[in-house]
Amino acid sequence: MRSRDDTQPWKGGYQPYDLVKEACIAVGVIALLAIVLSILFSSPDDKPSTIAQWSRTLPVNFLTAAATELDGTSGTAGYGPPYNHNSKGVHAVFLYPQKWLGVSHPIDTARDFVLDPLKTVPNDPTLQGAIAQYESAPAATQKAWGEAYAKPLEETAAAEEEEKPLPKTVSLDPATDTVTVQAPGAGPVGTLMTGLLSLAKSGGLDGALLTSDQFFQTDYTKPLLFMADGGLLEKRAEEQHLLGEQWGMMNETGSYPGQAWLWLYSLWYQVEPFKSSENADIWVLLLMSVLSLAFIAIPLLPGIRSIPRKIPIYKLIWREHYRESSPRSSA
């Protein structure tokens, strides 16, 4: 018996079918479901963080991040492309696409996050003098000042993380809300940082970072990268189970369902060798790209395309057809 050619139109039985009515019913049912779910559960809308909030609630953390932006040791400063050339970025063997695609969104953290915003502060000759002193110093001196200022802050951050007693070199006065950093040898950096903290608390830094290039702006890269170098976003994310090691990519704030379809993408980050690799991002994406191409190409893949025949779930799906068309059932 010749097997049927499935490229040809079906020659067996047909039944009446109202395609347009079915589509309308489907739209009605789905719309109703979406409305009922919306009435029952609504949707999340956690307010965004601002640099002003960050600097007010976590001033020491803000200063720690700001110091690293000035001395070029922050995450953004050392990121590499597309922000700067200070690193080659991640790679997979000989593949360096991050480097190859170049610096398309240049950011000089010392200038863009610290010095240029500070220059907008009016009527503060001490601050403007400190800026001039910093800018006219040789690079080696700037580096030494920056490291001297950052040292007590980094020691405090490390002590906090290890839950040890905090060094006395950094203190926060809750009455006046001022931070004092004892950093001998920091030159004008102390004045710059105090000025930046003050600008941040007033909301001026949020504005300065956003509108630095032009009045109308929809690109939030600078304020977002600055905040991401600090601890506030991460703190909120951890509370909401959004961190990478919490499978956060799949999650939504609150107890809402998130992006369940990212399960496989999230999974690789939890297992070796990706878990401890510095280049996890590119390796996981390359792996997912290969798997995605395989997913598209399933009809062409021997073995994978034969599984539905071997595991006959189809016999359940088409059981009525098989029953009706078996020789015993013909009238």
Partner 1 sequence: MSSAPPKTRPGSWTVRVREAGVAALPPEKLLPDGQPTYVASWIYVFGVASIASLVVIVASGSILALKGPAWWHYTGVGHFFNSIHMWAVELFFFVMVVHLWGKYWMAAWRGGRARVWMTGAVTFLVAVPTALTGYVSQQNFDAQWIATQAKDGLNSVGVGAFFNVTNFGQMYSYHVLLLPMAVIGLVTAHVLLVRRHGVVPPFELEER
Partner 2 sequence: MLSTAVVVAMGAIVNLNHPAHTVDWSFIHMSVANVVVIGLMLVVFVLAILLPFPGAARRRGGGGS
Site for partner 2 in 27-46 (CB under 8 A): 38-42, 44-45
| Interface map 73-92 toward partner 1 (x if CB under 8 A) | ------x-xx------xx--
Tell me whether the omega of the peptide bond preceding residue 9 falls within 30 degrees of 0, making it cis.
no
- How far apart, in whole angstroms, are the C-alpha atoms of residue 150 and residue 190? 10
Residue 301 CB, shortest distance to partner 2, in Å, is 22
Which one of 73, 221, 240, 277 is in contact with partner 2 (CB under 8 A)? Answer: 240
Rounded to 5 degrees, what are φ and ψ at 171? -135, 145
Taking the mean position of all CA atoms in its chain, how far away is CA 284? Answer: 15
How many residues belong to the site for partner 1 (CB under 8 A)? 100
3-class DSSP state for residue 203?
coil
- CA 196 → CA 70, 117, 126, 213, distances in Å? 11, 8, 13, 19
Q: Which stretch binds partner 1 (CB under 8 A): 116-124, 183-191, 195-203, 316-324?
A: 316-324
CA nearest 195: which of 125, 129, 127? 127
Taking CB under 8 A as the criterion, the residue among 65, 179, 250, 282 binding partner 2 is 250
Residues 84-143 that bind partner 2 (CB under 8 A): none
Does 301 bind partner 1 (CB under 8 A)? Our answer is no
Candidates 106, 184, 257, 273: give the one binding partner 1 (CB under 8 A): 257
Task: Look at the block and give the residue holding tokens 């240029």.
Answer: 116
Q: Which does 31 bind (CB under 5 to 8 A by kind): partner 1, partner 2, none?
A: partner 1
Q: Is 35 in the site for partner 1 (CB under 8 A)?
A: yes
Q: Is 14 in the site for partner 1 (CB under 8 A)?
A: yes
Residue among 36 and 172 whose Cβ is closer to partner 1: 36
CA-based torsion, 92, 226, 243, 231: positive or negative: positive
Taking the least distance from each CB to partner 2, the nearer of 128 and 253 is: 253
Q: Does 246 bind partner 1 (CB under 8 A)?
A: no
Tokens 């009016």 map to which residue? 122
Q: Which is nearer to partner 1, 183 or 242 (CB)?
A: 242
* 202: its two tokens: 């007033």
**Ranges assigned E (strand) in 65-197:** 170-173, 178-181
d(CA 272, CA 104): 32
Q: In the complex, which residues of this chain contact partner 2 (CB under 8 A)?
A: 11-16, 38-42, 44-45, 239-241, 246-247, 250-258, 260, 263, 270-271, 313, 316-317, 320, 324
